[in-house]
A and B are shown apart, each in its own frame.
Chain A
């Protein structure tokens, strides 16, 4: 039971580069989410998806792009990374009609 996996676990990149964080879930959950976690802000929603090909903005979407061509995958792309995007990123999923979200282990991203 693999659950929800994120890759890479750690990433260092430079300002201006494009970075893609991967998220894969094996439960066939309809909903998937991307959060960032920063000290003093807790978890903030970046984007979410209700199903394949359906995505919507969360609280802090600027500078990020998502896609969901398959139910099990929900990649997050930073098109031109900035230092302010240094953070820990978490992916989560939930069943349709259920509020409990299940989280991956996170990706720690450093933008130099």
Chain B
């Protein structure tokens, strides 16, 4: 089956640094990707999405980059804050369903 994976299970950064969370996907036919943030004890929360006809999309302090050649997705968080500490999931979509990666935990220290 298709799979979505992450390169690093845990990422530790200092407050104020930029964070980069990576994700690899295997289904070259995927045309839409989503990043979710999950804080402890809560459900996943939508952060940003990108379609396969785009290479980059920016939101507030977050940027998603898509490299279809190597089937790689990344989430960049600028000026990381303690409130950004969470688990981040990428997901690819197909026929209204999502396939999630296993997640990367982001730890932000002051």
Q: Which of B43, B49, B96 contacts A104 (CB 8 A)?
A: B43
Q: Which of A41, A42, A101, A105 contacts B42 (CB 8 A)?
A: A105
Interface size class of B (residues with CB under 8 A): 10 to 19
Which one of A43-51, A67-75, A79-87 is at the interface? A43-51
Knowing A42-B100, A42-B103 touch, does A99 contact B34 (C-beta < 8 A)?
Answer: yes
4 smallest CB-CB distances across A and B, nearest first, come from: A103-B43, A42-B102, A43-B100, A99-B93
- Interface bits B69-110 vs A (CB < 8 Å: 1, else 0): 000000000000000000001000100111011110000000
Considering the complex, give the chain A residue whose CB is closest to the CB of B46.
A100
Docked Cα-Cα span, A42 to B6, in Å, equals 11
Complex interface: chain A residues within 8 A of B42 (CB): 105-106
Q: Which of B32, B44, B102 contacts A40 (CB 8 A)?
A: B102
- Per DSSP, chain A at the interface is strand
Interface size for A (C-beta < 8 A) is 23
Considering the complex, give the chain B residue whose CB is closest to the CB of A39.
B102
Pick 5 A–B contacts, CB within 8 A, sort by A.
Answer: A43-B44, A43-B98, A45-B98, A105-B42, A106-B41
Considering the complex, give the chain A residue whose CB is closest to the CB of B42.
A105
Residues in chain A within 8 A of chain B (CB atoms): 31, 33, 40-45, 48, 50, 58, 90, 92, 94, 97, 99-106
Docked Cα-Cα span, A26 to B14, in Å, equals 39
Is the pair A42, B101 in contact by a Cβ cutoff of 8 Å? yes
Knowing A90-B43, A106-B43 touch, does A101 contact B98 (C-beta < 8 A)?
Answer: yes
Docked Cα-Cα span, A80 to B98, in Å, equals 27
Complex interface: chain A residues within 8 A of B89 (CB): 42-43
- In the assembled complex, B45 has its CB within 8 A of some CB on chain A: yes
Q: Which of B32, B36, B43, B101 contacts A99 (CB 8 A)?
A: B32
Complex interface: chain A residues within 8 A of B41 (CB): 105-106
Is the pair A48, B97 in contact by a Cβ cutoff of 8 Å? yes
